[in-house]
Structure 1
Amino acid sequence: MRGEVLTFDEATGLGFILGDDGARYSFTKEDVQPPSVLERSQRVDFIAEKDWRAQQIIAMRPPLITSAMSGGGGGAGVFDLGRVIQRTFTAIKQNAAIFFGAAAILVGLPNVLAAFGQSSMLTGGSEMSGLVLIMIGAVLNLIGLYLLQGMVVKAAVNSFNGKTTTFADAFSVGIKKFLPLLGTAIIATLGMMLGFVLLIVPGIMLAVMWSVCSPAIVVEKRGVFASLQRSRELTKGYRWHVFGLLVIYVILSWIIGAAIGGLSLATGGTLTGGTPNLMVSLITEPLVSILSGVVASAGVASLYYELRSAKEGVGSEELASIFD
């Protein structure tokens, strides 16, 4: 949510914010990130808690950061890994209908087709028809994944600004940005594959550097190569933080896949030597794709917002204004 500072007493470290929803929220100086002196009428972005407290407060434009408050460091902002994760799941909660509805249609249904194809091939059905279904599902899943990215970034950035998004508006952005998103993904994937083949580490470095290409395309309306360069600039100086975040999301994805896949194995999956349970496969495989797609897309949007806030002092108002 966004709002403006009503009062802030630097001596006591206490203050109040008037949210754009009309409510008053109290805060302490420990809630301001990075530590800074907030002035009256300062526009801020914050997370509103149920007890009318404001937390994770970020000034929409960089205020004065004193050497005492920053521990003698420079003027750069503070990247908060916990805040990125919190914003990711806050955005998912606020836009659950759009995120999961879109994911169910765009990546869930293609995975249902692929599951039918796999089951047909493994249970003695027509190998040709099974292969066709798998290929159709893979193509539709590829298209759906990048449409989903555009939709999620649109809705997430708006939610950071305290705005709501309709499914139609989000889908419109996904359609408009599909080709540059797909083109960027192809180039980035080829580059990372080459990096992994050469020495693994270069591939990981490229994955980190290019981690926020999609939001650069959707929010800043950049082209394919410009978005790659923009992502490289934004992640510079924070790449270990970004790497840690990517590791967390990969582990979370593994946990989701293992938990849901365990159900398939428990009911006769191929790893147990039994016959694949078609009904379970039709539920578990799309569900893994839906959950992973939503978390990954929302995570990238939150990461982009945090990087711009930390490096450029840009708040959600500036980011969301591109859609107004």
Structure 2
Amino acid sequence: MTDAVNSGAHTPFGVGSVVGDSFSILFSKLPVVALLGFIPALFDVILTNSMNLDTTTSLEPGAEFDTAGFVGRFGVAFLFSLVMMSIITATLVQFSYDAKLGRSAQIGRYFSTAIRNLPAIIVLSIVASILYAIGFMLLIIPGIWLYAVFSMLVPVIVIEGAGFSALGRSAELTKGYRWPIIGALFLIFLCLFLFGFVTAFILAAISGGSLFGLGVLLETIINAISYGLASIAIAMIFARLKEIKEGVSVSDLVDVFK
């Protein structure tokens, strides 16, 4: 799991700069980030809450737990959630570069590119998820390392057009910088965890346990923003890797999918 360091001077990754750029884009473009992630996040929240309700009902005294039905519903929910997350990530990765350069958002283009690349994103995300699961079962650290290896999956597909060869391309691009990538993503996910921890109490107080209403609306907005920050961070990491390894600037990346 030790990355081979490039011969000669090893250019620093710049974890602080990547994290700072991610938050800068999020705060400066917060309404657009929330808008891009809102619809997919809404469907995801409703489906997740419905699954939780079904499970709670099945566990009531006297109720017979339908194992086959639960597994089937869980499978559908997982695939649907994966589709929603793929759309959010693919659209926000593209948006991040336009935002970085101060260009206006082109939402239609983002979604059309995301939908066009959806089959490759979904199939390879499932493969990567299986590898992560195996890695996490091997004392966690291998799973974290594998996450860094394949963390550039979505930008490699939507920006470079790598298609079903994206796993190999992501592994190639992240080589030599996987632990700094883990550091950057750890800081992002730590912030998201703290944000979610605080807002969970607010949501519980507002929703009062209700499935629909203001609680679901706020949960959707919060999830959309959280997904947005994670996706922006992935985009900034990808841009930094391209700059270090291939001398490609953000403006050059944007020109690829104009």
> TM-score range, shorter-chain basis?
0.7 to 0.9
- For residues 119-134 of structure 1, the aligned pairs below 5 Å read 119=53, 122=56
What is the 5 A alignment of 1:70-109? 74-109=8-43
- 1:305 aligns with one of 211, 225, 239: 239
Larger Rg: 1
Deviations 1:85-123 (A, max 9, x none): 122123334543432112110112331343255347647
Determine whether 1:169 maps to 2:98: no
1:235 to 156, 171, 174: 174
Contact 1:114 1:133 (C-alpha < 8 Å) held by counterparts: no
Task: Report the number of matched residues.
Answer: 244
Task: Map 1:200-215 onto structure 2 (within 5 A).
Answer: 200-215=140-155
Are 1:244 and 2:183 an aligned pair? yes
By percentage of residues, which structure has more helix? 2
Aligned residue type for 2:195: I
For residue 158 of structure 2, what is the aligned residue in structure 1? Answer: 218
Matched-pair contact (CA < 8 Å) for 2:38–2:224: yes
Identify unmatched segments of 5+ residues in structure 2: 1-6
SS in 2 for 1:314: coil
1:111 to 36, 39, 45: 45
Q: CA deviation at 1:198?
A: 2.7
Match for 1:286 among 209, 213, 220?
A: 220
Distance 1:243 1:120, change over 3 A: closer
Cα RMSD (Å): 3.1
Say if 1:161 and 1:317, in contact at 8 Å, map to a contact too.
yes
**Displaced runs of 4+ in structure 1, greater than 6 A?**
123-128, 131-136
**Matched residue, 1:15:** none
Q: Would you tell me which structure has more strand in proportion to its own residues?
A: 1
Distance in 2 separating the partners of 1:177 and 1:94: 28
Equivalent residue of 1:220, what SS?
coil
Larger RCO of the pair (alpha carbons < 8 Å, separation 6+): 2
Q: Give the Cα separation in 2 of the matches to 1:303 and 1:216.
A: 12
Cα offset, 1:285, TM superposition: 3.6
Looking at structure 1, the residues matched to 44 and 106 of structure 2 have their Cα atoms a distance apart, in angstroms, of 23
Matched, 1:261 2:200: yes
Distance in 1 of aligned mates of 2:215 and 2:207: 10
* 1:201-233 superposed Cα distances (whole Å, 9 cap, x missing partner): 221110111111111111110023x22222222
Once residues 184 and 94 of structure 1 are traced to their aligned partners in structure 2, the CA distance between those partners, rounded to angstroms, is 32
Using the alignment, how far apart are the partners of 1:229 and 1:207 within structure 2?
A: 13
User: Contact 2:206 / 2:215 at 8 angstroms: preserved in 1?
Assistant: no
Say if 2:40 and 2:88, in contact at 8 Å, map to a contact too.
yes
Asked whether the 8 Å contact 1:110–1:138 carries over to 2, the reply is no
Contact 2:34/2:221 (<8 A) preserved: no
Partner amino acid for 2:176?
Answer: G
Alpha-carbon deviations, 1:121-172, whole Å to 9, x = none? 64799999xx799876654432221011111111112233342222111111
**Amino acid of the structure 2 residue aligned with 1:259:** V
Q: Counterparts of 1:35-50 in structure 2 under 5 Å?
A: none
Q: Does the CA contact (< 8 Å) of 1:116 and 1:282 recur in 2?
A: no
Query: Among residues 131, 143, 148, which one is paired with 1:191 in the alignment?
Result: 131
CA gap 1:121/1:211 in 2 versus in 1, 3 angstroms: closer
TM-score, length-scaled by structure 1? 0.66
- Once residues 207 and 106 of structure 2 are traced to their aligned partners in structure 1, the CA distance between those partners, rounded to angstroms, is 41
CA–CA separation in structure 1 for the residues paired with 2:74 and 2:163: 31
